[in-house]
Amino acid sequence: MMQGLSKIRVVDAATGVAGPYCSKLFADAGADVIKLEPASGDPLRRWSATGAELGDADGALFRYLNGGKRSVFGSLATPAAPISDEVRDLLAGADLLVEDAAPGAFDRNALCCANPGLVVVSLTPFGLTGPMADRPASDFTLQAESGSIGARGRPGAEPYQAGGRIAAWSAGSFAAVASLAAVRRAEQTGHGEHIDFSLHAVTALVTNCFIDLMWGILGRPPVVGSLPNLETPSIEPTRDGFVGFTTYSAQQMADFLLMIERTDLRETQEFGQFAQRLGRLEEWEAIVHAYTKTHDTDAIIELAQTLRIPVAPICNGRTVLEQPQIRAREIFALDVSGDFQRPLPPYRVDGQRPPLAGPAPGLGEHSGQIEPRTPNRPRAQGSPELPLKGMRIIDATTWWAGPISTHILALLGADVIHLESIQKIDGSRSVGGTFAAQHEAWWECSFIYLSTNTNKRGITLDLASSKGMKILESLIAGADALVENFSPRVMDGFGLDWAKVQALNPRCHYVRMPAFGLNGPWSEHVGFAATMEQMAGLSWLTGHRNDQPRIQRGPCDPLAGMHAAFALLVAMAERDASGRGHFIECAMIEAALNVTA
C-alpha cells in the first residue's frame, strides 16, 4: 500500500479555497493535516453555491476541501492574543504551516525563528511586501489587476472574468508543489523555509499566457484602449447545444475547414490566421454556424476526433457526471457523507489512486487530542541550497502543461533536460510564427516556449533512429524521472513503456500526462487547456449571463502541470521507502475537474 506523505504533518491555519486546497493535496497523499480554526470556524463551513440553508451541516465545498483532516480550536499569535500552548506544540511538531493571514497580522519572522526546521507558506493576495500588500482583493479584482480580464471578450463588448475562483485554485496548486519541495529539503537538511506566495502573481501567470514577453518581442508598442478578443473557432452553437474546438496549429485549422465543408477557404487562406478571423468575426461565425447549427453535438465531436481536431462537449455540473470518458475513468465518487459526488485525486501511482478522503472534521473536534510529535530532521548546517538540487528530469513534453510542470521543478533546483526533435519541434515554438515577419528565426520567438523552458538544458533527438533512441536510453539510465504529455500512442509507438523505463533504470519514475487518461473511449484523443475547460465545466461558469459559455484561456495547462509535479514529488517520497521508481499517470481532464468542484 502506498505510503505517500504519511510521515508528514501539516498545520492548516488558512480559510477559504487557496490554503485549504494546498493542504488538501497533502491530505490526499496521506499527510496528517490539522486544521486550526477560531471559535467561529472557517467561513466556508457556512457557504453554499446555491445559497441553500445548511442547518447544522457544513457546506459541500468545505467538506470537499477538508475531508480527512482534523480540526482544533486555536489561532496564530497576534498582538492582542499570544499563541496558546496547544498551538505552540502543534507548530513544534509540524513539517508545514499553511496560513493566509494579512501581512501584518502576526510576527512571521519570530515564528520561523522559533521553529527553524518548519516550512511556512503564506498565501496572500499581493504578497507580504510592496505597495499593494495590504490591499483587499477578490478573485475578480485579482484577475483584473493581472491584466487578463481586459483581454477576454468579444471585440467592442464588455470583457468578462474567468469563472470558478481560478486564482484561488491555482494558488493552492502552485503552493503545494513549492511547499512539498521545501518540506523534503527540510527532512534531509534541517533547513526550514518561509514561502511568500502571491495570488496576484500566480493569477497573472495562469491567465495571461506570458503576454508581457509577447509584448516585449513586439518591441513594446504603445497600448491604446482596451483590446478584448476571443478565440475562434472555440465554443460554437450546435443543433442541440454547444460544442468546443481548439485549433492552435495550421493543420488543425485546415482540418476544421475540411470538417465544416469549406475546403475552398483552405485555398484562399483568407481565414487562416487568427487576426483574419477576428477582423471579420461576424462573417466568419456565420460560416461556422452554417455547419454547426445544422448538426448534432455528438456527430460533430465524432467527426472532429476522426480528424484529430481537439474537441469537447460543453459540460455543466450535471452533464459532466454523464460524460463517457469521465464515467469510464471513475473520476467521481460519492462523498463519505453520502450527500454529493466529488472528484477523486487526479493522479495514480502504479495504477493506484489515493483513497477517497475521510469525513471533514467538526469544528474543534480534535482539540486536546493531537498526539505529540517530534519531526525527524537533522540540525541545519551551512546555507540552504535549492530544494530539488541533485534531481534530474528528462523532459519529453510539449506546449504548456508538460513544460510548466518540469519548469517549476527546474526553478526549484532540478536539472531538467528538455527533449525535442528537428523533425517535430516543441509545439509551443509554432506560436513564434506570429513574429516571422520581424524575426527570421521565428521558432526562437515563442513567448510560451521561452517562458516555460528557462533553467533547463535542451537536446534534439530523432527517436525514430537507433542512435537517437540509444542516447535517450542513456539519459533515462541516469535520471530520476522521465516526463511526457503526448497522446498515449506517441510514446507507445517508440516502445517507451513502463517496463522499458524500469529495465533501463529501476529507480527512475515515469510521469505520463495524457489529456484524457491512458484508458477509456477518449484516451487517444488530443486536447489543450481550452478543451479541458470546455469538458470540465469551467467554460459553463465563464461569460456573461446573456451570452454563451466561453473559455477561460489557459489555466488548465498550468493546473495540470502543478498536479503532475506534485504527484512526482509524492512518488519521490514513496521511492524513499520502496527504493524503486514509480509509474505516475496524471490526466489533464482530472486536474481540471478537481478545481471545478
Q: What is the pLDDT of residues 410-423, one digit of tens each?
A: 999 999 999 999 98
pLDDT at residue 3, as a whole number: 79
pLDDT at residue 280, as a whole number: 94
pLDDT at residue 212, as a whole number: 87
DSSP reduced 3-state for 497 = coil
What is the pLDDT averaged over residues 524-548?
A: 94
pLDDT tier at 494, thresholds 50, 70, 90? very high
pLDDT at residue 2, as a whole number: 72
How many DSSP H helices and E strands does the chain contain? 22, 18
DSSP 124-165: ESS-SSSTTTT----HHHHHHHHT-GGGBSSTTS---PPSS-
Cis peptide, bond prior to residue 521, ω within 30 of zero:
no
Give Dmax over CA atoms of the chain in angstroms: 76
pLDDT at residue 592, as a whole number: 97
Matching residue, cell 503526448: 486
What is the pLDDT averaged over residues 393-415?
A: 97
Q: What is the bridge-based pairing of β-strands 311-313 and 241-245?
A: antiparallel
pLDDT at residue 1, as a whole number: 55
Cβ–Cβ < 8 Å for 388, 412: yes
Cβ–Cβ < 8 Å for 58, 360: yes
**From CA 535, how far away is CA 295, in angstroms rounded?**
19
pLDDT tier at 435, thresholds 50, 70, 90? confident
Q: CA dihedral defined by 338, 339, 340, 343, rounded to 10 degrees?
A: -40
**Edge-to-edge strand ranges of the sheet holding 9-12:** 70-73, 32-37, 9-12, 96-99, 119-124, 193-198
pLDDT value at 14 more than 90 = yes
Task: Please give the share of the chain, as a percent, with pLDDT higher than 70.
Answer: 99
**Burial classification of residue 156, based on how many CB atoms lie within 10 Å of its CB (0-12 exposed, 13-18 middle, 19 or more buried):** exposed
CA nearest to 497, candidates 485, 507, 512: 512
**From CA 570, how far away is CA 350, in angstroms rounded?**
12
- Give the H/E segment covering residue 490: helix 488-493
- Residues 6+ away with beta carbon under 8 Å from 8: 26, 30, 31, 32, 95, 96, 183
Q: What is the pLDDT of residues 17-41, one digit of tens each?
A: 999 999 999 999 999 999 999 999 9
CATH numbers and ranges of domains, the chain: 9-210 (3.40.50.10540), 235-322 (3.30.1540.10), 392-596 (3.40.50.10540)
Cβ–Cβ < 8 Å for 563, 347: yes
Cβ–Cβ < 8 Å for 449, 395: no
Give just the sign of the alpha carbon dihedral 151, 202, 455, 517: negative
Q: What is the mean pLDDT of the chain?
A: 94
What is the pLDDT averaged over residues 342-354?
A: 96
- 11-15, 238-242, 531-535, 543-547: least confident range: 543-547
CA nearest to 479, candidates 450, 449, 451, 457: 457
Q: Across 233-291, where does the E strand assignment appear?
A: 235-238, 241-245
Q: What is the pLDDT of residues 147-164, one digit of tens each?
A: 889 889 998 889 999 999
- Residues 6+ away with beta carbon under 8 Å from 73: 37, 38, 39, 363, 364, 367
Q: CA dihedral defined by 434, 435, 437, 441, rounded to 10 degrees?
A: -120
Task: Please give the share of the chain, as a percent, with pLDDT higher than 90.
Answer: 85
pLDDT value at 79 more than 80 = no
- 119-133, 210-224, 266-280: least confident range: 210-224
pLDDT value at 266 more than 60 = yes
Instruction: Identify the residue with better confidence: 158 or 227.
Output: 158
pLDDT value at 383 more than 70 = yes
Give the three cell numbers for residue 331.
473520476
Quick one: three-class SS letters along 236-251? Answer: EEECCEEEEECCCCHH
pLDDT at residue 208, as a whole number: 86
Q: What is the pLDDT of residues 36-68, one digit of tens each?
A: 999 999 999 999 988 888 888 899 999 999 999
